[in-house]
């Protein structure tokens, strides 16, 4: 690989490669830009909503193999999927030998990771044949330690070495191998991570992640009808939204490109004319940016509880907060937010992690700080209003609360991070969807220029 060639790494998700027609669309996209030199494919995904992803079919075969049950019929469905694709693409490729090897391996030692990885492996073979690009087995370059943790530096080095002198290649996503030589996958959706690693190693100018949506949306489309697409988002904003449940990209896909200052462009294989969403570094210069909206996105998550504690003169009692938090630590509960008043303190925690130790936590806090009153309120949702522009715009918080007040939504908690990048609001779970809709209206709909 010569470093001075401009390079884009392109990763295509499962629905973008679900059948021959989709693969043809992906190939047209790749061929439309010479810089799209390294391609990272997922396994064929769903063609329609009730369809089964090849990865899930492979997990199933492995499960059957593990219990000594014949999996010929299930495996036949996988053969049919690939053979259908090969036929649709009109290439003279036979995967029969590969199929035999996989069946043999699964019978001999049914490893879940090995089984799942074959979806990407086989799709990589098909796509490299169709494009006429070199095939590079991810097991040769993506390296995990024996516990299954990615060895990023070793991996980057191995990829760089392998790509030297390679003009164009297909490197399957989702898997690699351990230092002991066993195939190992990332967690589900992990082809995103492979793409990010390859982009770093190839010193790419851009990591394009092609999927079936035209980018990140300002709000969840199940809540807000046809929400706007976010044009540009920083890595930090993305993390805030992802933490609150917005998801398009695998969490671990951010680090390898973020550290190398490579932007990610989320694009839609079915609408290549759409610009998608650009994910850029936190210090990206936005001068000249058309001021879209004050906020970048809104996301919310249910399943929180607040522990409300009252005690007269709490504020003058040194170490009060520490003692309370120590009870949580001792019970393995981490807290999300902790707004406090003079004589009150309220701690928001994840209900699922509190559940098994609820009584112990209550008893522990009573013992440690003898509160006048303590109660746990369940059914809390947190919503995050995220935006890098909030910092320089006055009145944002007032507008959030005006939107909620008009809808008669009771605000249970507020927290503005010191970065002024987000405002977190706690509401009752029943109010979450309406709260998101009202905030969306306040900031997105009302900021739109009348047409």
Q: What's the order of all strands across the beta sheet hosting 143-144?
A: 143-144, 175-178, 183-185
Least Cβ distance, residue 190 to ligand ASP (angstroms): 5
Name which of residues 5 to 44 contact ligand ASP (CB under 6 A). Answer: 14, 42-43
Cα–Cα distance measured from residue 3 to residue 260, given in angstroms and rounded to the nearest whole number:
15
Specify the residue, 98 or 343, whose C-beta has the smaller distance to ligand ASP.
98
Alpha-carbon Rg for the chain, nearest whole angstrom, is 25
Contact letters for ligand ASP, residues 163-202 (x by CB under 6 A): ----------xx-------------xxxxx----------
For the beta sheet containing 8-12, the strands, ordered from the edge strand earlier in sequence to the opposite edge, are 134-135, 169-170, 36-41, 8-12, 206-211, 264-268, 277-280, 232-234
Closest CB to ligand ASP among residues 63, 292: 63
Place of tokens 């003279």: 92
In this complex, which beta carbon is closest to ligand ASP, that of residue 188 or of residue 391?
Answer: 188
Residues 112-171 that bind ligand ASP (CB under 6 A): 119
Whichever of 22 and 42 has its CB closer to ligand ASP, that residue is: 42
**Residue 40: closest CA among 165, 208, 200:** 208
Nearer to ligand ASP, 41 or 300 (CB): 41
Give the nearest distance from C-beta 75 to ligand ASP in angstroms. Answer: 17
Q: Tokens standing for 431?
A: 């109010």
* Least spacing, CB of residue 356 vs ligand ASP, in Å: 29
Supply the minimum distance, in Å, between the C-beta of residue 334 and ligand ASP. 27
Could you say which DSSP state residue 148 is in?
S
Nearest-approach distance from CB 249 to ligand ASP, in angstroms? 10
Nearest to ligand ASP of 249, 324 (CB atom)? 249
Binding pattern to ligand ASP, positions 360-399, x when CB under 6 A? ----------------------------------------
Residue (256 or 300) nearer to ligand ASP, CB: 256
Nearest distance from C-beta of residue 53 to ligand ASP, angstroms? 5
**Nearest-approach distance from CB 211 to ligand ASP, in angstroms:** 10
Residue whose CB is less far from ligand ASP, 110 or 190 = 190
Residue position matching structure tokens 């495996």: 75
Number of residues near ligand ASP (by CB under 6 A): 13
Question: 């064929």: which residue's tokens?
Answer: 44
SS3 category, 42: coil
Q: Which is nearer to ligand ASP, 75 or 320 (CB)?
A: 75
Instruction: Classify 151 in phi/psi space as left (phi over 0), alpha (psi -120 to 50) or beta.
Output: beta
Those residues with Cβ within 8 angstroms of residue 323's Cβ, 6 or more apart along the chain or in another chain: 368, 369
Site string for ligand ASP, 54-93 (x = CB under 6 A): -x--------------------------------------
**Contact call for residue 354 and ligand ASP (CB under 6 A):** no
Tokens of 4: 């001075």
- 240 and 421 in contact (C-beta within 8 Å)? yes
Tokens of 62: 């492995």
- Within 8 A by CB and 6+ apart from 410, the residues are 427, 428, 431
Residues 6+ apart with CB under 8 A from 179: 143, 144, 145, 146, 151
Interface residues with ligand ASP (CB under 6 A) are: 14, 42-43, 53, 55, 119, 173-174, 188-192
């Amino acid at each position: 690989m010569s470093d001075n060639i401009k390079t884009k790494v392109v990763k295509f998700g499962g629905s973008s490669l679900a059948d021959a027609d989709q693969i043809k669309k992906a190939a047209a996209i790749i061929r439309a830009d010479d810089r799209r030199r390294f391609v990272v494919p997922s396994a064929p995904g769903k063609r329609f909503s009730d369809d089964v992803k090849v990865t899930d079919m492979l997990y199933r075969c492995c499960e059957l193999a593990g219990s000594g049950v014949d999996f010929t019929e299930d495996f036949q469905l996988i053969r049919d999927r690939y053979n259908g694709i090969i036929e649709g693409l009109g290439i003279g490729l036979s995967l029969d030998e590969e199929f035999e090897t996989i069946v043999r391996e699964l019978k001999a030692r049914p490893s879940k990771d090995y089984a799942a990885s074959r979806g990407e492996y086989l799709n990589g073979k098909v796509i490299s044949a169709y494009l006429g690009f070199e095939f590079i087995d991810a097991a040769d370059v993506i390296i995990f330690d024996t516990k299954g943790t990615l060895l990023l530096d070793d991996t980057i080095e191995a990829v760089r070495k392998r790509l030297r002198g390679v003009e164009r290649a297909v490197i399957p996503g989702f898997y690699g191998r351990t230092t002991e030589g066993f195939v190992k996958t990332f967690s589900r959706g992990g082809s995103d991570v492979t793409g990010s690693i390859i982009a770093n190693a190839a010193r790419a100018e851009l990591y394009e992640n092609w999927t079936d949506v035209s980018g990140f949306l300002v709000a969840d489309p199940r809540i807000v009808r046809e929400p706007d697409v976010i044009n540009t988002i920083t890595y930090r904003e993305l993390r805030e939204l992802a933490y609150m449940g917005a998801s398009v990209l695998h969490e671990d896909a951010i680090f390898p490109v973020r550290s190398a200052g490579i932007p990610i462009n989320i694009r839609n294989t079915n609408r290549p004319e759409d610009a998608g969403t650009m994910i850029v570094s936190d210090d990206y210069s936005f001068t000249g940016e058309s001021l879209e909206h004050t906020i970048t996105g809104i996301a919310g998550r249910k399943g929180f509880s607040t522990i409300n504690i009252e005690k007269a003169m709490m504020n003058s009692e040194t170490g009060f907060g520490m003692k309370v938090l120590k009870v949580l630590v001792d019970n393995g509960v981490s807290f999300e937010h902790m707004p406090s008043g003079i004589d009150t303190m309220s701690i928001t925690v994840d209900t699922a992690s509190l559940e098994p130790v609820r009584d112990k936590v209550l008893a522990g806090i009573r013992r440690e700080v003898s509160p006048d009153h303590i109660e746990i309120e369940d059914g809390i949702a947190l919503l995050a209003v995220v935006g890098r522009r909030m910092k320089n715009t006055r009145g944002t918080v007032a507008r959030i609360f005006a939107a909620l007040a008009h809808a008669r939504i009771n605000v249970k908690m507020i927290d503005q991070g010191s970065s002024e990048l987000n405002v977190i609001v706690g509401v009752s779970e029943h109010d979450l969807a309406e709260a998101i809709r009202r905030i969306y209206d306040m900031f997105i709909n009302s900021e739109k220029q009348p047409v």
